[in-house]
Structure 1
């Protein structure tokens, strides 16, 4: 009887401990309870899940079996395909300069056709000097040139006089764009603090990868789809670990991202071939083909789908992993099926809004084209079958399918990693 009473008291003690772990209100005082340290913040401390021995062992298996081999292969392939120099087409290179308009008057020889702007050069070989530049007359351009504005200029290096050396290209929009970027950076850091700052660094890394590896490697002749997959995998690894830290949760989110990315690649390649898309309808495709005839436009189209879906995949997988981590922190005894079901319920709402956002983004980018078709009053089947529209339909739906797949993939991986942590807690307490 004595041993039976001891067993009952031990079981009751365990039950009380688990009931405390089920409360996600942040009233615990130590890490062992999985709650925040404040008494009124109601924040669940998910770091206890990352530090759990069972979770760590399961995630190490995923990292060793999936992440390390894939990321190692991506880095090796990136080194092999690194473009180096010599990717620019010399016949398409132009020098540029900038200058501020100080005087504006009608052209002496064609008063009704153009204006002559006296521009003080702020960059270029003649910096500090003034040059007469012919610009579109007010009413002939949607954005008229005015005194005080800064212009972008093309430079003819072989011109004999300064009057013939510079031509008007466009308005210089660097200053307002920098102001907008600064507002964006301040808003991100103000809301997310150090994590927001890390996200900005990750954004800079993405820009460097695009300009120094992905675009030059494609111009150099590497397969665009392979370049996009390799570059995208490296970008996601850096962005996720830099923004969210190197931990179990980030590793699971990255695993889900790579799995969904692989599915997006397969679907994009298949439906591009199945729908007989050449890629020529893409904006700038004909120009790229003219100056780099070796480019595979079909592969470039699929590569664009992959890169376009990356940012949203990142959002979805991080959210799903975080949701499952929160659920496990609040209830360490939760079974795999319970975590999977709860995580999918969260994911359904997220996917419904994200998919709509993605499709609307593609539709917004193609709005002028859709407007032309509407004016022509063509049948819907005819409009959809044109490559210009079909390409956007495939792009939007393939990206959406990748996002949809990311939810169950990431949720399942996260549930397998953190399910039923209570066994480890019981073993540690005895």
Structure 2
């Protein structure tokens, strides 16, 4: 057992056993020639798998890239205005309930006019406050208050002597609160995750660029939705994972698991869209697209949406499983592959349970008004869940959950095989990540292999083992 000398160094009188009971002498030297050869073989195998997949995704993207010759689709723009009509913004000065401006002719004729909520708004372009009539459905919410910035229709040039209100409430201006939340979100992510968090935010911007520049125009032009979803999602995941987490065996392992889960999700989505007859007629936006063009495939759009919707959670579970395997190996380098797999799967099972809830509640929260409406219908629970209003959300939850659940054991198994080939205690990869997370030179020193004067007994050259490290923290090491 090693002992702590008065000088603060460690003296090892016998080999230190790790947590699994295996005896070995920890060393601070470079990896052996056999370990380096195994590492090269593992990295080469990952490259042989991932490079062709990446090239295939990029080639598919080039072949499916929208040509800009989309079919003519006429969709009514709710923000379009007629000649002489403008959409203005202004700040609400006060709100009152009075005779409706639209009933001015009745008031002039001596007839009792109906009461409306009127928001006296100071135009952003200058001028006196104008009476903006608030529609009844908005007035019921009592959401408009003094100080709010609103957007309203200015009809004063076309509604002269017509009896119609010249100013009609249209919407709130939400730029400030959304901008505040966006800045707060970015600040929190960067403060906690540091450079990795910043890279993740930049990667998110790139993902939206692929969505807006490739997937959406491709769907409008009638490209195959299954291929669009698979190719676009693969490109997004390859870019986001490597950009946010760096090029490493750990990231490559997570990417393999992600692509596997993505393939499972795409296959299930293709089958479920056809088998469950998801045609989108119960969705108002999809119904608008159906009426706008006879050539748009709403089922295809739904299929592509099923693939994309599970990307975030799928990426979450695969990178977590890969990291869990690496961290467990760092704590117990002598652990067998079976022990690493079973330990990481215990983490994975907990993640499965919590992630399934996450997906279900995320969709439930987004569809809460629909859920309330459906609950008021005189229908059974089974009829409600399989009806057109909820079927798409239910299938999205089930398809996404199956894909991520199956991705966990696959990712874990691949991670165990890779880490046994390329990993080493406090490897350079892990040390660099620890230093990046800590954000300082002290972390680099703590993560790097120990050298003379860094916890090694100068006489024996031995490092403190797991028992000694645990003793430093004031708790015993587990056998």
- Give the TM-score, by structure 1 length: 0.77
Kept in 2, the 8 Å contact 1:155–1:166? The answer is: yes
* Alignment match, 1:171: 172
Q: Distance in 2 between matches of 1:83 and 1:420?
A: 43
Could you tell me how far 1:300 is from its partner in structure 2? 1.7
3-state SS of 1:142 partner: coil
Offset at 1:153?
4.1
> In the alignment, is the contact (CA less than 8 A) between 1:355 and 1:403 conserved in 2?
no
Query: Aligned residue for 2:66?
Result: 83
Report the more deviating stretch, 377-386 or 253-262: 377-386
Q: Quote the Cα distance in structure 2 between the aligned partners of 1:155 and 1:90.
A: 25
Equivalent in the alignment of 2:370: 369
- The offset of 1:199, in angstroms, is 1.5
Q: Are the structure 2 counterparts of residues 394 and 305 from structure 1 closer, same or farther at C-alpha, using a change threshold of 3 Å? A: same
CA contact under 8 A between 2:74 and 2:293: conserved in structure 1? no
Indicate whether 1:403 and 2:394 are aligned: no
- Give the superposition deviation at 1:297: 1.6
1:331-346 equivalence runs, <5 A: 331-346=332-347
Take 2:159 and 2:69, find their aligned partners in 1: how far apart are those partners?
29
Figure out how many residues of one structure are paired with residues of the other and give that number.
Answer: 384
Range with bigger deviation, 392-401 or 75-84:
75-84
Report the alpha carbon displacement of residue 91 of structure 1 after superposing the two structures with TM.
4.8
Q: Kindly indicate whether residue 149 of structure 2 is the aligned counterpart of residue 150 of structure 1.
A: yes
SS in 2 for 1:75: helix
Per the TM alignment, residue 309 of structure 1 is displaced from its structure 2 partner at its CA by: 0.7
Aligned-partner Cα distance in 2 for 1:100–1:384: 44
Change in Cα spacing, 1:101 to 1:368, as seen in structure 2 (3 Å) is closer
Q: In structure 2, what is the Cα distance between the partners aligned to 1:231 and 1:422? A: 32
Matches of 1:114 and 1:55, distance apart in 2: 75
CA contact under 8 A between 1:120 and 1:129: conserved in structure 2? yes
Alpha-carbon distance in 2 for matches of 1:118, 1:20: 75
Q: Give the secondary-structure state (helix, strand or coil) at the position aligned to 1:384.
A: helix
Residue 393 of structure 2: aligned partner: 392
TM-score (ref. length: structure 2) = 0.70
Equivalent residue of 1:99, what SS? strand
Contact 2:117 2:139 in 1 (8 A): no
Identify which of 41, 48, 59 aligns with 1:64: 48
Q: 1:224-373 maps to which residues of 2 (within 5 A)?
A: 224-282=225-283, 284-373=285-374
CA deviation digits over 1:62-114, x for unaligned, max 9? 2222x222222222222333336465846534456533335666544426354
> What is the CA distance between 1:250 and its match in structure 2?
0.7
Segments of structure 1 that go 5 or more residues without pairing to the other structure are: 1-12, 34-50, 425-430
Task: Provide the residue aligned with 1:43 in structure 2.
Answer: none
Superposed displacement of residue 398, structure 1: 1.0
Q: Give unpaired runs (5+ residues) of structure 2.
A: 1-11, 81-86, 104-112, 426-479
Aligned-partner Cα distance in 2 for 1:365–1:405 = 25
Q: Is it true that 1:204 corresponds to 2:187 in the alignment? A: no
Q: What is the alpha-carbon distance in structure 2 between the residues aligned to residue 320 and residue 207 of structure 1?
A: 25
For 1:98, the equivalent position in structure 2 comes to 89
- What secondary structure, in the 3-state scheme, does the structure 2 residue paired with 1:92 have? coil
Closer/same/farther in 2, CA of residues 224 and 165 from structure 1, 3 Å limit: farther
Q: Provide the alpha-carbon RMSD of the alignment.
A: 3.7
